[in-house]
């Protein structure tokens, strides 16, 4: 299944968490027991520096969650970034989700 585009909004200075359903190539909930995930964001596609999201998974429901704590979001300047979530099964890595992550400023 090709990657899905999902845009996310993250409030600077707040805890952030977002769940994503993991589907197989047929669009059915995938067995993610042995799957590893990675997720990162950076200012532009060509930026050399990227930052990692914390990853957790709910195997029973085929859900992967990305999160950042309040300190991480506070230390990220407000603005738009690009992000990606990838899954690795053995030696095969596939892009699951990608999009724009908008960090909104705090008052």
> pLDDT tens-digit profile of 36-48?
999 999 999 999 9
Q: Look at 8 and 1; give whichever has higher pLDDT.
A: 8
Whether the pTM exceeds 0.85: the reply is: yes
Q: Mean pLDDT throughout 75-82?
A: 97
CB 30 within 8 A of CB 22: yes
- pLDDT of residue 49 exceeding 80: yes
pLDDT above 90 (res 106):
no
Strand 36-42 to 79-89 pairing: antiparallel
- Average pLDDT value for the chain: 95
How sure is the predictor about 67, in pLDDT bands with cuts at 50, 70 and 90? very high
């Amino acid at each position: 299944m090709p990657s899905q585009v999902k845009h996310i909004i993250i409030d600077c200075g707040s805890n952030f968490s977002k769940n994503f359903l993991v589907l197989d190539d047929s669009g059915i909930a995938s067995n993610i027991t042995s799957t590893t995930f990675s997720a990162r964001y950076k200012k532009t596609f060509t930026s050399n520096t990227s930052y990692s999201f914390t990853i957790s998974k709910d195997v029973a429901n085929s859900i992967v969650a990305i999160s950042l704590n309040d300190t991480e979001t506070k230390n990220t300047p407000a603005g738009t970034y690009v992000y990606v979530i990838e899954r690795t099964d053995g030696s095969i890595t596939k892009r699951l989700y990608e999009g724009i992550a908008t960090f909104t400023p705090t008052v």
